Structure 1
């Protein structure tokens, strides 16, 4: 394989996928609507085709023009889109659908490919664009991949847990970096032991490449950091990463707040980004068997913090405002 076709490719996961395949000698065609700045506009080995992936004619025309060896589908959010793509790209060496750990229906610890059941997906959910239907839609996309493989298509799936790293427009991690960078005391919901498995974005990109090159059609592969940390552990990693810059001292006081204390500021545990109850954990042994390794957590966080400091994202719109946190801290200080 030497020519990759990426559906998406300019924002977050797709951007890193393009960079990963370029680093390994591929030519890349990026297919999207062109509504976001193209970071590869001046890159010789990247071609851009503009079109709407929800328009079957646009996608089919782009496929004929590019004639790729492999396809990575970063922005298939409805099962119909996966069924269409696997039909259009039925003769490629690899079609990789970017699914999600949200596709799992049961809170196993850890969730395993082929063992933990997937979400059901109703006809209504299949075309609903709300967050509530995200997992069911991804699960149905996985089932479309499995069905395509049974027809002889070289289709596979990767299931990342929550992804973080440079160019993360969700700003979930940016919220925590901003808090540690800006304040001496940081409110952490619960007792700090909450676990929501995360995946560093460059590792997701390398996983996608390995699956495209060596994965088995009809298989799904979980992606997540090989070592997980609690919410407290994540804050510690951020503080340590900031300590290596001119901005941070690495000295932050973590203050835990339960439901009662948070209620004083009309907050709940779920108002804080990257908090999840029950815990979420994916098994990654199947992917590791392909030779995949994850970046050490400290190194991944250092890169994420550096990107945060270089950019203008602060995450303040995705979590509680500081005034609310100050009210919580005031309550805790009286106890």
Structure 2
């Protein structure tokens, strides 16, 4: 295995990046993060970690970081627009470049979705600079295509496609919604029959995957990152309850019961009407070993409780949830 020493992270101080910094430090890297300085830096005064302030949308900031760090590896956490990835793969053409993509790049349809087989979203030119949630998947797909194009030009560029990421320091609080419900209430409303399958990945496992792909990945390839064992919403509640040494009763509601209270099933975190699963053999072939769900959920649940996480502000409020539960009891 080739030895790499210097890593530059574009982003890297919030959630996924925070854990990835730790993984790279443990592997012996010197890590530099390039951020706009808008969030607290958890690595201030941390040996082996330095920070540069700059806007990744400005080529000069990327060039300055490249010249100062001379990175062997670049991990790009915050590439949201294809032009940004095209610029980065040009500036860092002499480094191993790992782009953090998303399972949302897939157009869907396959169960499971496979790298190189399942179609990616098309991305129209007017979508490339858009910032709406509706164009997120197409933009990520076009960013992946930018990675593949760079690899064809000789850049050691790769993409990693995580499914929904959960773990400590998750500022999206999507899994935290369910942790809070289980911690605070005996009965919890679950859309559908509880079997909703949205593939997920533990953040520390994703950090290990990014390190592994940086060192062992094949240029021009994409790698799905998700737990080896997918588990349903009901199973999530069971695992959370076990971690918190409590009990919970999931109460299922269909679209009709939810609609009576103006609740859209998809507005509830982690619910998906169709299975969203990816194949993970490709990453496993590099030697990746994900944490068993019981252990990863336990660590995540305890961290969310300790951190007072309650869920996204847009989540289903408890008053409405109780109204649905009462209607189901009376029904």
Alignment RMSD: 0.8
Q: TM-score, normalised by structure 1?
A: 0.97
Give the distance between the partners of 1:299 and 1:22, measured in 2 at CA: 23
Residue 2 (1) aligns with residue 5 (2): yes
* Deviation of 1:313 (Å): 2.0
Which residue of 1 is the match for residue 16 of structure 2? 13
Runs of 4+ in structure 1 off by over 6 angstroms are: none
Which residue of 2 is the match for residue 41 of structure 1? 44
SS of structure 2 residue aligned to 1:255: strand
Give the distance between the partners of 2:131 and 2:203, measured in 1 at CA: 24
CA deviation digits over 1:176-218, x for unaligned, max 9? 0000000110000000011010111111110010000001000
Q: Conserved in 1, the CA contact under 8 Å of 2:113 and 2:277?
A: yes
Give the distance between the partners of 1:287 and 1:270, measured in 2 at CA: 29
Alignment equivalent of 2:63, drawn from 56, 60, 79: 60
Which residue of 1 is the match for residue 310 of structure 2? 314
Q: Conserved in 1, the CA contact under 8 Å of 2:216 and 2:286?
A: yes
Which residue of 2 is the match for residue 133 of structure 1? 135
Which residue of 1 is the match for residue 220 of structure 2? 218
Q: Conserved in 2, the CA contact under 8 Å of 1:197 and 1:224?
A: yes
Residue 324 (1) aligns with residue 320 (2): yes
Residue 257 (1) aligns with residue 253 (2): yes
CA deviation digits over 1:134-155, x for unaligned, max 9? 1111111111111100111000
Residue 166 (1) aligns with residue 162 (2): no
Which residue of 2 is the match for residue 247 of structure 1? none
Q: TM-score, normalised by structure 2?
A: 0.98
Count of residue pairs the alignment pairs up: 328
Give the distance between the partners of 1:316 and 1:23, measured in 2 at CA: 32
Which residue of 2 is the match for residue 190 of structure 1? 192
Which residue of 1 is the match for residue 109 of structure 2? 107
Residue 281 (1) aligns with residue 277 (2): yes
CA deviation digits over 1:80-132, x for unaligned, max 9? 0100000000011x100000000011320000000001111011110000111
Q: Conserved in 1, the CA contact under 8 Å of 2:85 and 2:146?
A: yes
* Deviation of 1:316 (Å): 5.3
Change (3 A) 1:80 1:168: same
Change (3 A) 1:316 1:78: closer
Q: Conserved in 1, the CA contact under 8 Å of 2:198 and 2:276?
A: yes
Residue 235 (1) aligns with residue 231 (2): no
Give the distance between the partners of 1:231 and 1:179, measured in 2 at CA: 13
Residue 89 (1) aligns with residue 92 (2): yes
Alignment of 1:69-80 (within 5 A): 69-80=72-83
Give the distance between the partners of 1:31 and 1:232, measured in 2 at CA: 40
Give the distance between the partners of 1:289 and 1:241, measured in 2 at CA: 31
* Unaligned 5+ runs, structure 1: 244-249
* Unaligned 5+ runs, structure 2: none
